[in-house]
Amino acid sequence: MQTQLDEREPSERVLAVIVTYNIGKAIRHCFDSINNQVEHVIVVDNGSDEITCRELRQIAESNPITLIINDRNEGLAHAYNQAVQWAKNKGFQWILTLDHDSQATPGMVNKLLDGYATLDRQGVQDVGVIGANPYDVNLHNYLFYGPPEGQDQLVEDNEAISSGSLIRIEIFDKVGLFNEDLFIYYVDTDFCKRSIQSGFRVFVCRAAKLLHREGRKTRHKFLWRHAYYDHYSMTARYYIMRNSVYMIKKYSFSWIELYWIGRRLCLDHLKILVFDDERFATLWCSFKGLMDGLRGKVGPMDDAKVTASARLRGGR
């Protein structure tokens, strides 16, 4: 089967990397959506369960993909870096980073490449990242920017989410690899900030639609209003809080940026208290993340130990 990039110049070699972790059969949706849009797909698995590993082996048996199986969860940043190093060794010019539960819409990669070409024609030579336009399938709405009709196709921003971001391989020589201290969450924000500090610019391509799932949202009615709650795991809540502190300590945020970070964290914790079935254990994990962030702890945590401790404390 011919890929959608066959009509482009041979130099535009794109590698897509999908990082998997306990996604099971649902990985098929992500893989099938991108397989025919890029020259090659590499899947990096972070110590998943047997169901996921079996599904990945079946995909590899019938498709010419590269499969890297890590013995344990090494984190999103480490997995991306494994793919970047592989892409460098194989001579790829581009890497497209994807979450395992995202889906590329038809022609998404071509639209991202067209975005680079458009900026190049306009004399913009310092593009670091160009991201897709994420559409939240839970909310049935675009997360940040609306559809491209009647609007500029390319919007400059401070960051693009990692899933659906197209990056030139040569950028990593100047910006560095993804930050493994973060493990997961804010990996994309950190890379975009370092890109901007290195003199590059970040853009979002409105026309390149990416189907994205932000957490496991459920709709609730509270008093006279309806609210959506992201059912992140206790582990996720730990990293979100810890890495929020890490980012605030590392970078100079404007007062308005700090306001929105603080506002989101306050709303998140209010919703945990109201809607989460394990509210006190989840809040304790978030508090643990806050304290570890203030202490400067980075890298992976002992998931089982922290979660067990949270449930013990939450049950008191």
**Domain range annotation of the chain:** 14-212, 217-314
pLDDT of residue 41: 97
- Enumerate the β-bridge partners of residue 212: 136
Instruction: Report whether 160 contacts 129 (CB < 8 A).
Output: yes
In a 13 Å sphere around the CA of 29, the CA atoms on its Cβ side amount to 14
- Please state, as a whole number, how many other Cβ atoms lie within 10 Å of the Cβ of residue 73: 19
pLDDT of residue 309: 59
pLDDT of residue 10: 43
Residue 29 scores a pLDDT above 80: yes
Residue 98 scores a pLDDT above 80: yes
CA distance 166 to 5: 14
pLDDT of residue 301: 82
Instruction: Report whether 176 contacts 138 (CB < 8 A).
Output: no
CA distance 95 to 14: 6
Burial of 36 (0-12, 13-18, 19+ CB in 10 A): middle
% of the chain with per-residue pLDDT over 70: 85
pLDDT of residue 218: 60
Q: Mean pLDDT highest for which of 87-101, 223-237, 301-315?
A: 87-101
Instruction: Mean pLDDT check: name the lowest of 53-67, 96-110, 123-137, 291-305.
Output: 291-305
- Express each pLDDT in 133-167 by its tens digit: 999 887 788 888 887 766 668 999 999 999 999 99
User: At a CB cut-off of 8 Å and minimum separation 6, what does 277 contact?
Assistant: none
Write out the E strands in 231-307: none
- Please state, as a whole number, how many other Cβ atoms lie within 10 Å of the Cβ of residue 75: 25
- Enumerate the β-bridge partners of residue 16: 41, 96
CA 54 distance to own-chain centroid: 24
User: Which residue is listed with tokens 């995202």?
Assistant: 102
Instruction: Pick the closest to residue 204 from 116, 131, 113 (CA basis).
Output: 131
Instruction: Mean pLDDT check: name the lowest of 47-56, 146-155, 230-239, 260-269.
Output: 146-155
Length of the chain: 316
Residue 88 scores a pLDDT above 50: yes
Instruction: Assign 6 a pLDDT band (cuts: 50, 70, 90).
Output: very low
The CATH number given to 14-212 is: 3.90.550.10
User: At a CB cut-off of 8 Å and minimum separation 6, what does 156 contact?
Assistant: 201, 202, 203
Q: Which amino acid is at 56?
A: L
| Token digits of residue 252 | 């100079």
CA distance 42 to 92: 12
Higher-scoring residue by pLDDT: 34, 267: 34
Cα 74 to Cα 19, 47, 167, 182, 188: the distances in Å are 11, 8, 22, 11, 16
Instruction: Report whether 178 contacts 191 (CB < 8 A).
Output: yes
Instruction: Assign 68 a pLDDT band (cuts: 50, 70, 90).
Output: very high
2 sits in the region (left: phi over 0; alpha: psi -120 to 50; else beta) called beta
Span between the terminal Cα atoms of the chain, in Å: 59
Mean pLDDT of all residues belonging to the chain: 87
| Token digits of residue 223 | 């008093």
Average pLDDT over residues 2-18: 62
- Express each pLDDT in 265-285 by its tens digit: 998 888 888 877 788 888 999
